[in-house]
Copies of this chain bind each other. A is one copy, B any other.
């Protein structure tokens, strides 16, 4: 029996996946304004994208639109949230409670998007033993010794020089997906999912576009 995922085992393109949370935010605002139905044409105009891209993106989910009417807002929101994995809250461990790690621990938004940090690990005696927003911080050795069960998602926010070392510890401890906030390309086996989120990479893109714009307008 098929697992229900529309038609094929094919990978959903990453660009499409990245756009979906944008649609979601947009739809939630539209819902607040009382809209019951919404068409791809309308979404596209409002968001400044191509209308056929909207329908193609949404076609990866199991939602179907209605000709001349568009999509029903509420079911679309529900389907998108569940498709994106935001309805089930996954547990995660966080590695490296520095400035960025602390910020993520303080963030209340993540839980709404399906991620809950249940423990954090560091080596710094100043943070080990403490608690941030109810999340206990242990020494990384505690993870090595005990945590072979539990969360399979790990958030990596350690310094650049320790990235690979901590990655190995994470994988040995049973982590299957790594949300990597360091600008380092970490090496793992094929069965581990790595999601790179380097803020500096985005900064580089922004600087470049700004440079191009300002030199072309001169």
Contact = CB atoms under 8 A, between A and B. Distances in A.
A18 interface: yes
A26 interface: yes
A195 interface: yes
A214 B193 CA distance: 10
Contacts of A204: 17-18, 20-21, 84-86, 113
A107 B100 contact: yes
Interface in A79-106: 84-86, 90, 99-100, 102-104, 106
A207 B12 CA distance: 12
Contact of A205 (B14, B25, B47, B207): B14
A145 interface: no
A189 to B, nearest CB: 11
A187 interface: yes
Specify which of A176, A207, A212 lies most central, judged by the most chain B CB atoms within 10 Å of its CB.
Answer: A207
Nearest to A104: B103
Contacts of A28: 160
Interface string A33-67: 00000000000001111000000000000000000
A212 B28 CA distance: 27
B29 A208 contact: no
Contacts of A195: 202-203, 205-206, 209
B21 A185 contact: no
B206 A179 contact: yes
A183 B103 contact: no
B206 A193 contact: yes
Listed from nearest, the 10 A-B pairs whose CB atoms lie closest are: A103-B103, A85-B207, A195-B206, A25-B183, A18-B201, A84-B204, A47-B185, A193-B209, A197-B202, A21-B200
29 contacts: A3-B215, A17-B201, A18-B202, A21-B200, A21-B201, A21-B204, A22-B183, A22-B185, A47-B185, A48-B187, A49-B185, A84-B204, A84-B207, A85-B208, A86-B207, A99-B107, A100-B109, A102-B106, A110-B203, A113-B203, A152-B210, A176-B210, A176-B213, A177-B210, A179-B202, A193-B209, A195-B202, A195-B206, A197-B202
